[in-house]
Chains A and B, each alone.
Chain A
């Protein structure tokens, strides 16, 4: 119970803090205290849990996550995880304190702290995860939040680029890691860390070991900036310095190292492990240290030094030696403390002088003596000066470099030399950092007059530097127990004897250290002139530019490769796309039918009715004529389309489908009017004599062939289907239950509003969305210039053409309303229903617009389509939801018949209320679309006086308001 509390709080507290912080106003200054308090509480949780670990228990908590997949959200804290958790929360707290003074009041502070806390939470989740998939999840979260942190100053191009590069590299590696973890989980049969850690022998002997290893190493190497993926780290220095201090000392870049150490018992111990990691670590160690010397930006110098130290840790881990493992863990802790303090010192210098350029800085020892001494000690730790923590872990590294080899190879034998060389370089860049900034003559050529920072800005540095010294002098009394627990939780009983003493006697590692110190000083003196000459770039390695390579790869993948692929496989021409679509559909159908053939079935054919046959002679002619005329004679095509629709409608009548016929007829009318309204905005198209090139003719001939094939195919399939017996589907159910259980005799309507009411619900929602989309699109409608003028048909004496029809239309308006209501009410038992009635009423309104014109109708009649739609949707959904109130599933209907005496029986099913909702929505949607389109003609002329906006009803006013 207590375990659960500590562990969950350690992960969730930072996220909760991030959420609260994010909600604070942008100028809130108290936010730093909130963030600091959160970090401190998190640290407290870890410390509370730590007392358990010290007593030999491993706190853990498991919550079901996706039990069907055997996944649970599991947290567990052993000594190693606790080490990282202490660093993430402890250094996190110091960074928050530091940021409180570092960040400018002009920056949006809550956002900064929110990201920082969220990152901390992700880091805690990463180190405390007891499930590999969950670990990868938090891993990607750290990539994401580090992206946001690095790009915090989003107005700077460098910050955006650096953030994007970091995200691309680390999240890309995260994908590889995910794949690797899946393979690993497949080998072990479980993603639980305990199970995986216990299965080391099984994993290492498995044929899939190498793929899993390579994928997981890719993830770790990208995250921990190992060569050749190191290039993103220096570019991430565009982040605010507190972020760099946090991400690049204790957290983000250490995540890769964390993973390597975490899976060390499972993956390490093989030749593959050594031969992949050792060269990578060695190159990273040397290249990072060498390049660091030649950086003029203090942060860049620290960044390359970080790369180098990460390489050192990787190298230690690669040696397959238990003692090297202990040294690695120790160096992880040491590096976190001195590197965080150095970043903070660089930030203080930047903050107080306005520059981080070592070439410009000089003699700061005079103006900021305290900071100078702090930085001096921290840099000493980085260089491996005795009595500081860096010295002890470096001695351990030297020892390992000398002794790790059980089967010495060439690579093993050069390790001592390489280690010494790397140390020489480390001393040189540490010297440069200190000497360049703090010593030499005082300069007044700085953007700001340097002085000591606010006291509390220095406190975090003081704490960290104090830690460096205490650990350096009294290692076993201070960090000893923590290191012991951490090492034991990885190595178990195999933990070797090791000694944390400062003095091991006069031995080879000490000689190497002395050589490194002397060599480093000598090298610095040797390079002094070159470094002060202010030359940019690294000698000998000018061509090693990871950024250029990265950019080239990105350009290739996201531009050249993508474009080539597009050219090869895609077309942006709709005609070609549709042609392909039709052809592929045709092929697919052919393939599916190939085994069965398309021979007609054996059903007794119904005799041909000459009326229907004649009807379809007309209908077919209409369809072909519409296809023929649609290019140059749009109106004619529209009329023909109506003809074909009418014949379809009659077919429905003929074959006992009155509801369909009614719907088809009404939809036909509304569609035709809509299109007529739209035709006015289309460009004129005059048929020219002779129809184009031979090429165009060939194209048309090809399309004609495709169309003919499609038509024939449709005919064949239809005929084959119709001549077979219809299988006994679910229709019987509907027919038998429509009256007894749905309370209606019109089965089609009962299906729509009752049996399949949920479908209808979805359908009217779609209709409403479409109407709103149409409305929204038309609000921004800008007609082509040539269509703006009044069409020639409307010019002159055209006004009174419709006089008699207009009078008729006005007179029948009440009749249409009555018929519409009648159709609505009887819909459950007789042909009719909400769809039909809604369309009918919409046509009534439409006729009034046609007869009286937009302005006249809107002066006399207020239709509020949006409200109709809202009312309809609410009513339909409400009827459905009412069933829930009675304990029935959504949209269960209830029915009874009310006897109205001479008027007959009125069905009172709750489905009728649902149908009323359908009615209101269909009416509202149709009218909304029609009015919106009709209004385009009213608001058209920009030069003409604007339409009387105030007099228009609501939606119309909105439509017209765009003028």
Chain B
């Protein structure tokens, strides 16, 4: 299972990195999104893979780390997802504005010489 997840992170990250180095703004935005999946999964994997572990406590008790999912990476990733959403939106609008200003969609604002 660990290998499956590690491969998933690698494929998402690799595809993202490939797109980062492409010349078109839209490729960049997709690449960043893929990369953020990879990073989120990576952070999430710090809590390992508790299949079937309860995420919610019983009222009135203390949680035991052995039988519950690790909440810390989860809350970190939740924050990361929301911030990732915000930056994606911002980048999208910057991309549109650049497209309007430059008339093209090259990341440098103009085609290479």
Contacts and interface: CB of A to CB of B under 8 A. Distances in A.
Interface of A: 572-575, 578-579, 582, 605-609, 612-613, 616, 619-620, 623-624, 626-627, 630-631, 634, 637-638, 641, 644-645, 647-648, 651-652, 654-660, 663-664, 667, 670-671, 674-675, 678-679, 681-683, 685, 703-704, 706-708, 710-719, 721-723, 726, 728-732, 734-740, 745-748, 751-752, 756, 759-760, 763, 766-767, 770-771, 773-774, 777-778, 780-785, 787, 829-831, 835, 922, 925, 929, 933, 936
Contacts of B22: 575, 630-631, 703
The majority secondary structure among interface residues of chain B is: helix
B15 A655 contact: no
A731 B72 contact: yes
B87 A582 contact: no
Interface string B80-105: 01111111111011111101110111
A760 B49 CA distance: 26
A715 B57 contact: no
B65 A714 contact: no
Interface in B20-45: 20-24, 26-27, 29-31, 33-34, 37-38, 40-42, 44-45
A425 B103 CA distance: 68
Contacts of B59: 739, 745, 829
A715 B5 CA distance: 8
A767 B104 contact: no
Contact of B69 (A631, A657, A667): A657
B11 to A, nearest CB: 4
A656 B17 contact: no
Given A623-B12, A711-B10, A739 B100 contact: no
Contact of A626 (B34, B53, B63, B82): B34
A792 B94 CA distance: 25
Given A722-B2, A723-B2, A748-B75, A715 B10 contact: yes
B96 A613 contact: no
Given A620-B11, A630-B30, A667-B85, A645 B2 contact: no
A868 to B, nearest CB: 16
Given A656-B55, A659-B78, A663-B81, A630 B89 contact: no
Contact of A774 (B14, B16, B69, B93): B93
Given A715-B9, A735-B71, A774-B90, A707 B50 contact: no
Contacts of B55: 656-659, 746-748, 831
25 contacts: A605-B2, A606-B1, A608-B4, A626-B34, A630-B24, A630-B30, A660-B77, A675-B29, A678-B96, A681-B96, A706-B18, A711-B10, A714-B10, A714-B38, A715-B10, A718-B6, A718-B10, A726-B48, A735-B71, A739-B62, A752-B78, A781-B96, A781-B97, A829-B59, A831-B56
Contact of B58 (A619, A745, A756): A745
Nearest to B60: A739
A638 B34 CA distance: 11
Nearest to A616: B8
A578 B21 contact: yes
A216 B52 CA distance: 72
B64 to A, nearest CB: 7
A631 B38 CA distance: 21
Contacts, number: 329
A777 B94 contact: yes
Contact of B30 (A606, A627, A747, A925): A627
Q: Which of B8, B104, B107 counts the most chain A CB atoms within 10 A?
A: B8
Contacts of B34: 623, 626-627, 641, 644
A717 to B, nearest CB: 8
A770 B70 contact: no
B21 A747 contact: no
A251 B31 CA distance: 61
Contact of B63 (A647, A707, A735): A735
A761 to B, nearest CB: 12
Contact of A656 (B15, B52, B84): B52
B50 to A, nearest CB: 5
B82 A667 contact: yes
Nearest to B95: A678
A718 B72 CA distance: 18
Given A715-B9, A735-B64, A609 B1 contact: yes
A707 B18 contact: yes
Interface residues of B, number: 93
Given A582-B21, A751-B71, A763-B82, A710 B14 contact: yes
B56 A746 contact: yes
A226 B49 CA distance: 74
A406 to B, nearest CB: 70
A782 B98 CA distance: 9
B14 A707 contact: yes
Q: Which of B70, B74, B104 counts the most chain A CB atoms within 10 A?
A: B74
Nearest to A897: B59
A606 B37 CA distance: 22
Given A707-B14, A736-B62, A738-B63, A678 B92 contact: yes
A659 B94 CA distance: 30
Nearest to B64: A735
B6 A715 contact: yes
For the complex of A and B, list the 4 residue pairs with the smallest distance between their C-beta atoms, beginning with the closest.
Answer: A711-B14, A715-B10, A735-B63, A707-B18
Q: Which of A582, A748, A763 counts the most chain B CB atoms within 10 A?
A: A748
A242 to B, nearest CB: 48
Contacts of B107: 574-575
Given A644-B34, A715-B9, A736 B63 contact: yes
Contacts of A747: 55-57, 63, 68, 71
B50 A656 contact: yes
B16 to A, nearest CB: 8
Given A630-B19, A659-B55, A767-B82, A715 B7 contact: yes
A922 B68 contact: no
B41 to A, nearest CB: 6
Nearest to B10: A715
Contact of B14 (A656, A712, A718): A712
Contacts of A578: 20-21
Contacts of B45: 718, 721-722
B42 to A, nearest CB: 6
Contact of A711 (B17, B75, B85, B87): B17
A478 B6 CA distance: 90
A746 B100 CA distance: 46
